[in-house]
Amino acid sequence: MLKTVTYSPAYTLVPTYECFNRCSYCNFRREPGDDDWMSLARGREILQSLRDGVGPQVTEILILSGEVHPQHPRRSLWFQRIFNLCQLALSLGFLPHTNVGPLSEGEMASLKTVNVSMGLMLEQVTPKLLKTVHRHAPSKQPEQRILQLELAGKLRIPFTTGLLLGIGETPKDWCNSLLEIARIHSRWGHIQEVILQPHRLGQRQESQFEAFELQRLPEVVALARGILPSEVTLQIPPNLLETPEILLDCLAAGARDLGGIGPRDEVNPDYPHWQGQRLREILEPAGWRLVPRLPVYTQFEQNSDAFPQLAERQVGVKEPPS
């Protein structure tokens, strides 16, 4: 019998690439003033095309944005645009998942009403990165991101977080970051998946430090599987893994999800997503069955204020594999 690995058929909407952080490894951000913000009309045009079958057949709409400073005059406009895009996606039958950086408790509570799940990468809990890759990234303070995970638990938001690997951390830092996620989940029980994302070099990043050593990724997967509760699914991004062998080794070590797969990886634009046919050609001979899922896992549906009736949106399986 084939074992199951899941993915989310997804499309990413980016309200703005502008960001007040300057992480030296980033290939996503643009300087404030260099990017036209996505209008609601443009968002409607894209989503209507997806619904009408012109674009990919997707279930999840990932709202991914650069960050606007909490005290910036445009913060309220930025937040309202994100809310409106989520509301629009829901009205057209899609399931929104928002990841736009740290939010206030009020902002998170508001977005919960128009999202089936939300997310924020913890990255690493070590403060030493504030002296290196996060020197000019105020919102990457570990305590601020830990607070965001705690607030998501308090609000009962189905949540995705994860580690960014290869940005100057150590194996001990991996362990400490995973233990922190496990601690927060043990208190609130709301973390549905943890991404283990290796840093890969891109054309737009500022610092040309070495990329993560991919042969070590199965080691990190095994470490995470030993630390995190069994109900928390481990996710790896196949387009960043370079070879099918590393993907299969990560699955053998305990990964069970491949994340959102769509036309473009906005965070890593130099690394196109591996599409379904290629993935099946890799997975099936090795005993794996690729199955689509929703952006909210079955056990978290009751916590999702925005979760609509699914009678017309079934996509195969809704629960993570064992």
Nearest to 94 by CA among 52, 65, 64: 52
Cα pseudo-dihedral 200, 204, 210, 211, rounded to 10:
0
Question: Residue 22 has what pLDDT?
Answer: 94
Q: How many Å apart are CA 117 and CA 98, to the nearest integer?
A: 7
Tens digits of pLDDT across the chain (322 residues): 889 999 999 999 999 999 999 999 999 999 888 788 999 999 999 999 998 886 668 999 999 999 999 999 999 999 999 999 999 999 999 999 999 999 999 999 999 999 999 999 999 999 999 999 999 999 999 999 999 999 999 999 999 999 999 999 999 999 999 999 999 999 999 999 999 999 998 887 877 677 899 999 999 999 999 999 999 999 999 999 989 999 999 999 999 999 999 999 999 999 999 998 999 999 999 999 999 999 999 888 877 777 754 434 444 434 433 3
Q: How many Å apart are CA 25 and CA 166, to the nearest integer?
A: 10
Question: Residue 299 has what pLDDT?
Answer: 85
Domains and CATH numbers, the chain: 3-303 (3.20.20.70)
| DSSP-based three-state secondary structure for 262 | coil
Cα pseudo-dihedral 163, 83, 315, 196, rounded to 10:
0
CA atoms within 13 A on the CB side of 255: 25
Question: Residue 116 has what pLDDT?
Answer: 96
Question: Residue 298 has what pLDDT?
Answer: 86
Q: How many Å apart are CA 212 and CA 200, to the nearest integer?
A: 7
Distant-in-sequence, close-in-space partners of 5: CB < 8 Å, separation ≥ 6 = 251, 255, 256, 257, 258, 283, 288, 289, 290, 291, 321
The H-or-E segment that residue 192 falls in is strand 191-198
Pull the structure tokens for residue 223. Answer: 């470490």
CB atoms within 10 A of CB 1: 5
Cα pseudo-dihedral 204, 123, 139, 85, rounded to 10:
80
pTM for the structure as a whole: 0.93
Q: How many Å apart are CA 160 and CA 157, to the nearest integer?
A: 10
